Structure formats: C-alpha cells, structure tokens
Amino acid sequence: MKEVNKRIFPVAASLRTFLSLILIRVVLTAKITAPTPSTQFSPSLSRMEQYWSGSAINKNKGMVENLQSYGIIKSRKVAEVLENIDRGLFVPNGAQPYIDSPMAIGYNATISAPHMHATCLQLLENYLQPGMHALDVGSGTGYLTACFALMVGPNGRAVGVEHIPELVSFSIKNIEKSAAAPLLKDGSLSVHECDGRQGWPEFAPYHAIHVGAAAPEIPQPLIDQLNPGGRMVIPVGNIFQDLKVVDKNSDGSISIRTETSVRYVPLTSKEAQLKGE
C-alpha cells in the first residue's frame, strides 16, 4: 500500500520525508537546549516515539492488542506475559498506564514506553525460558523484572538492580500486587539496591541481561556475567543512542548488532542522575 502511494505521489512522499526530518531536528534540538533527561523515546523514522495515544486504550488487554497489531509483539509467549503483568500496577498514581509513552516516576527516571518493553521481551524471549537466569539493570518500577520472573518461572532467577533506594521499595510494592508476587516470596525474583554497572555477581551467569538506561559504553562486568550462548540488550550512546544486541557465543566471543535508535535516560551515578546531569 505504501509502495503504491510512493510511486503515484513521489513528490508527496519526498515532502513527507522532508517534513519528518525537520520534525526530528526540532525534537533533537529541543532535547539539546532544554536538558530534561527524564523523557525517553525513539527518534528514528522507522520506530516513532509513539504508536498510539489517547484514552481509547484504557485496559491492559487493549495495550497488548495494540502492540500485536503494530507487529511489536510477535509471539504468543510475550503476549501472555504482558497480559498477565498489568502495567497499571507499576505506574505512579494518576498516570495513564496503557498509552504508548514513557512516564516520569520521579528521581529523574521514567518507566519505559510499552513498545520498548515489548521490543526487549521479543529480543530476549529465547533467553527467558523456564529455569534460566535474567538480570534487569536499572529495574525502576520493577515492571520488566516481573515479566522476566514470570517467563523464567520458579526454577529460574530474575534479578533487578536499581541504584535509587526509593525506586527499589516502590518496585517491590508494585511486584507484590502483581502476578509475580509468589516468585518474589519464593526468592526466584529479587530486587537489589546497587550500581547496576557492576551487575549482580551472586546469581551470574545470566542467559538474559536487559539494561534499561543508556550506557556510554557497554560495562565490562555485564559482559563478564553473561552466560556463553546468552544475550544482552542495552542502549548505548549519549544524545544519539542505539539499542544494541550483544550475543556471547559458546566460545566466549562477542557479537554485537544494532537493533534500532532509541532515547533512554543515562546509566550513570546516583549523584549525576539526581542532579539531572
């Protein structure tokens, strides 16, 4: 359909590209001149910051259906876990949990947009099988950590690490209300306060590592804690960021590819984050 349109209206198509480029410039310029790092979105042409918005989508199930219809959720397993863990339990009171947007959770942090959570779950699905170990760095609200826990199950391990103590307590309260509560009680799901750049050696090696904040470069301790055959998904960069897929091969060598452009808050020190640097 899009192809046909382009052939019939080449001028309209290139005008549209031109306008989108201007729009992106405006957005990026706004970012640079007004340093409010608490928002998070993907500025690439192929992956716009928002797939839907507004109040038509007022239920968790509707959010999952939207993610499916936009092709972001591709598998039954990812759909199931997002149906079972209600995003509404993880956002601050008064926020709209089911629109496709990141939201401020205080401390200059955000809960990522649903399409980013779904994208990361799809990329990690094969590394989140029952019994496997998963590490969520910058676990924030605990939403994705809870999803990981449900996927790896009671014989696996899902570990969240977060450096803001108030967010660690917030995430534990959220998880206790969710379908992952029994796993938190069992101990197969845990959240720890620490600098996530050091990982969490206690339950290493991990089959899946997710990093929810953008690192200037990939922290070596996280590579070290990845199981051979395992996968890490991590945003890398400063103003321009790429979501990198880091695979550790069975011989211990590393393969890295870029999935898409993204915009996350930085993976940094607690002090720098609270100052908004």
Ligand X SMILES: C[S@@+](CC[C@H](N)C(=O)[O-])C[C@H]1O[C@@H](n2cnc3c(N)ncnc32)[C@H](O)[C@@H]1O
Q: Under the criterion CB under 6 A, does residue 164 sit at the interface with ligand X?
A: yes
Cα–Cα distances in angstroms (integers) from residue 5 to residues 9, 13, 23, in the given order: 6, 8, 22
Side by side, which strands form the sheet with 254-262? 189-193, 157-162, 133-137, 206-211, 226-237, 241-248, 254-262
Whether 112 is a known active-site residue: answer yes
Neighbours of 94 (CB within 10 A): 5
Q: Under the criterion CB under 6 A, does residue 268 sit at the interface with ligand X?
A: yes
By residue count, the chain amounts to 277
Cα–Cα distances in angstroms (integers) from residue 16 to residues 12, 13, 20, 41, in the given order: 6, 5, 6, 21
Residue 206 contact among ligand X, ligand NAG, none, beta carbon within 5 to 8 Å by kind: none
Give the amino acid at 113: A
User: What angle, 0 to 180 degrees and rounded to 10, lies between the N-to-C axes of helices 114-124 and 76-84?
Assistant: 130
- Read off the DSSP letter of residue 126: G
Q: Under the criterion CB under 6 A, does residue 97 sit at the interface with ligand X?
A: no
The stretch near ligand X (CB under 6 A) out of 25-33, 47-55, 156-164, 172-180 is 156-164
Hunting for tokens 């922290």 — which residue is that?
219
**Given the residues 46, 69, 75, 112, the one annotated as active site:** 112
Alpha-carbon distance of 141 to 175, in angstroms, equals 9
Q: Under the criterion CB under 6 A, does residue 235 sit at the interface with ligand X?
A: no
Q: Under the criterion CB under 6 A, does residue 213 sit at the interface with ligand X?
A: yes
Give the alpha-carbon dihedral of 36, 122, 247, 208, to 10 degrees: 80
Residues that bind ligand NAG (CB under 6 A): 35-36, 106-108, 274, 276
Residue 35 contact among ligand NAG, ligand X, none, beta carbon within 5 to 8 Å by kind: ligand NAG
Shortest Å, Cβ 109 to ligand NAG: 9
Q: Under the criterion CB under 6 A, does residue 140 sit at the interface with ligand X?
A: yes
Residue 276 contact among ligand NAG, ligand X, none, beta carbon within 5 to 8 Å by kind: ligand NAG
Residue 162 contact among ligand X, ligand NAG, none, beta carbon within 5 to 8 Å by kind: ligand X
Among 37, 114, 138, 235, binds ligand X (CB under 6 A): 138
Residues that bind ligand X (CB under 6 A): 40, 107, 109-112, 138-141, 143-144, 161-164, 167, 195-197, 212-213, 264-265, 267-268, 273
Supply the residues annotated as catalytic.
112
